[in-house]
């Protein structure tokens, strides 16, 4: 089966110095750019994180300080990657939880505002967990019929990227309307559908500090749109203003916005709040 695409899809994976979106950095970025005509472009990049790689990360990935010495910093390749990724959708394994937020942070640290909110984000792990609830190795065995260790070297971004791409294609084959009789277990070969199916939360920012919630009127009734569905509004998901609409808080407590901008929050969270603030200033 070939992916049904209206624009390019970037299937990618990262290896990093750790799991902290604020403090850690990318050391390997691998991607397969799949074009609507079926052409596939494979790229594997080693990135200098600008900081020592922890011994446990080297043991896990095989990437050492010596391997990244002389390699470009992310900020040195960010503009080229932005051009490469512009107009694309994205897919990965656990990517909506970690890889996309980390990539967004690296772009912002490089001074590039890459707006992932305009992209469809497919997470093959979420699809897999909703269908079978296991990990990448089990997914590869289940969908591809082979042991992952027989085909790939573990904990390498280029290897995991290839496996993820094969798993995604296997998922589409297994759950296509032609092979799966149960309508509730069918997957559409459509990027928008897969991205929606991959979504696990209502986060506005990747860290979940701001989330979508039903809009309510002064009497506490849910406000609906022309389609009869509840209208959504951004609300804070932490701190003293938890559950309150962000736009409302920014109007009556502007110091809260300043506190977040100067605090230890991700660039993406600050970016989301700034966009809401600018939007509201234009409306008001």
Above pLDDT 70, what percent of the chain?
99
pLDDT, position 284: 64
Strands of the 89-92 sheet, one edge to the other: 40-46, 26-34, 9-16, 89-92, 121-123
pLDDT, position 155: 79
Burial of 122 (0-12, 13-18, 19+ CB in 10 A): buried
- 201 pLDDT above the threshold of 70: yes
Average pLDDT over residues 254-260: 95
Spatial CA neighbour of 28 closest among 17, 39, 20, 41: 17
Cα first-last separation, the chain: 50
- 283 pLDDT above the threshold of 90: no
Cα(84)–Cα(78) distance, integer angstroms: 10
The pLDDT tens digits for 217-233 are: 888 889 998 888 899 99
pLDDT, position 248: 94
pLDDT, position 225: 87
> Which residue bears the tokens 């505002």?
113
pTM of the complete model: 0.77
pLDDT, position 120: 97
- 153 pLDDT above the threshold of 90: no
- 105 pLDDT above the threshold of 70: yes
What six digits make up the tokens of 217?
Answer: 């009127």
| Non-local CB neighbours of 193 within 8 Å, separated by 6+ positions | 187
Q: What is the mean pLDDT of the chain?
A: 94
Average pLDDT over residues 134-147: 89
Question: Facing residues of 15 across strands?
Answer: 28
pLDDT, position 64: 97
> Which residue bears the tokens 């394994």?
93
- 133 pLDDT above the threshold of 90: no
Cα(40)–Cα(211) distance, integer angstroms: 35
């Amino acid at each position: 089966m070939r992916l049904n695409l209206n624009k390019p899809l970037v299937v990618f994976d990262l290896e990093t110095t750790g799991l902290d979106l604020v403090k850690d950095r990318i050391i390997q970025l691998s991607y397969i750019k799949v074009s609507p005509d079926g052409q596939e472009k494979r790229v594997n990049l080693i990135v200098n994180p600008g900081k020592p790689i922890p011994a446990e990360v080297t043991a896990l990935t095989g990437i050492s300080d010596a391997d990244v010495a002389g390699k470009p910093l992310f900020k040195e390749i960010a503009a080229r990657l932005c051009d490469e990724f512009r107009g694309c959708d994205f897919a990965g394994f656990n990517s909506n939880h970690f890889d996309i937020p980390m990539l967004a942070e690296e772009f912002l640290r490089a001074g590039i505002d890459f707006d992932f909110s305009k992209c469809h984000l497919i997470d093959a792990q979420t699809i897999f967990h909703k269908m079978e609830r296991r990990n990448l190795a089990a997914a590869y065995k289940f969908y591809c019929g082979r042991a992952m260790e027989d085909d790939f070297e573990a904990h390498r971004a280029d290897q995991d990227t290839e496996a993820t791409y094969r798993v995604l294609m296997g998922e589409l084959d297994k759950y296509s309307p032609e092979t799966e009789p149960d309508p509730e277990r069918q997957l559409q070969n459509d990027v928008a559908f897969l991205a929606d199916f991959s979504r696990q939360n209502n986060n506005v920012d990747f860290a979940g500090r701001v989330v979508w919630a039903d809009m309510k009127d002064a009497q506490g009734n849910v406000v609906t749109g022309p389609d009869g569905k509840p209208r959504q509004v951004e609300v804070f998901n932490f701190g003293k203003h938890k559950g309150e609409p962000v736009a409302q808080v920014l109007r009556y407590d502007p110091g809260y916005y300043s506190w977040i901008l100067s605090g230890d929050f991700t660039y993406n969270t600050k970016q989301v709040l700034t966009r809401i603030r600018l939007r509201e200033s234009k409306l008001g």
